[in-house]
Structure 1
Amino acid sequence: MCHVLVIEDEPMIAEIICDFLRDEGATSFDVAETADDAIRMAAAHQPKVITSDIRLAKGRGPDAVNVIRARHGELPTIFITGTPDECGPCKYAVAVLAKPFSPLMLADAFSKALAAA
């Protein structure tokens, strides 16, 4: 079983990410549109892998991921963003994918994340 927390405030992009990762073996998802939602969802159902945008309508993805990792351990994280240069501090990321991304890029990053989990 592979539960993924998708932190993305654009519903269509979140749906695409979930569809691609389902094809790669993810079995369940939580989709958070805000940093606070992401932190709350991770506490309720700890993910095996996190994907996160950088800029959210409320908050920043890296800030939420840092809180989640501090509370739940070093969870593999893939950042998917239109602003990859703003990914800081993100040195721990399995990958930083620029939007638009391809299914192959996401599949490769997800495979690395699963290996790190």
Structure 2
Amino acid sequence: MTRHALIIEDEILIAFEVQGVLEELGFDSFDLACSPTEALALAQAHRPDLITADLRIVGGTGLEAVEAITEQMGPIPVVYVTANADLLRGHCAPAVVEKPIAWPVLADACNRVCGLTA
């Protein structure tokens, strides 16, 4: 079974590192987006099983991107990966991994939102 992830991140090296962690978790298909508009277009073209999103990205925020995607496509598991976790106060954010990223923490958060661990 193919597992597809959308990585919303404007720093390409971080995006590739996130992809590496997700590959270890069994994801085998990826889209990388650096703006809310690009993220929505990619999600519409290939529905993701998981979204990872940085908050501060080109042309907006990861939060805006996720809200636009889920408004059109319904619920999708999300992990926010950010150095700006304080900006998520007041928003429903089931999983937040702070930068600098501890890769085991990211793996655990992804598994948790995908329902793979308790």
TM-score bracket for this pair, using the shorter chain length: over 0.9
Give CA deviations for 1:68-88 in whole Å, capped at 9, x if unaligned. Answer: 001111101000001010125
One-letter amino acid of the counterpart of residue 16, structure 1: E
* 1:23 aligns to 2:24 (yes or no): yes
TM-score scaled by length of structure 1: 0.93
**Identical counterparts, % of pairs:** 36
CA contact (8 A) 1:52 1:80 kept: yes
Aligned to 1:10: 11
CA contact (8 A) 1:94 1:112 kept: no
* 1:102 aligns to 2:102 (yes or no): yes
Structure 1 residues 80-89 or 103-112, which shifts more? 80-89
Structure 1 residues 93-102 or 69-78, which shifts more? 93-102
One-letter amino acid of the counterpart of residue 67, structure 2: N
d(CA) in 2 for partners of 1:90, 1:69: 14
Runs of 4+ with deviation above 3 angstroms: none
d(CA) in 2 for partners of 1:89, 1:78: 16
Aligned to 2:47: 46
d(CA) in 2 for partners of 1:65, 1:73: 10
CA displacement at 1:24 relative to structure 2: 1.1
Gaps of 5+ in 1: none
SS at match of 1:42: helix
1:60-75 matches, within 5 Å, as 60-75=61-76
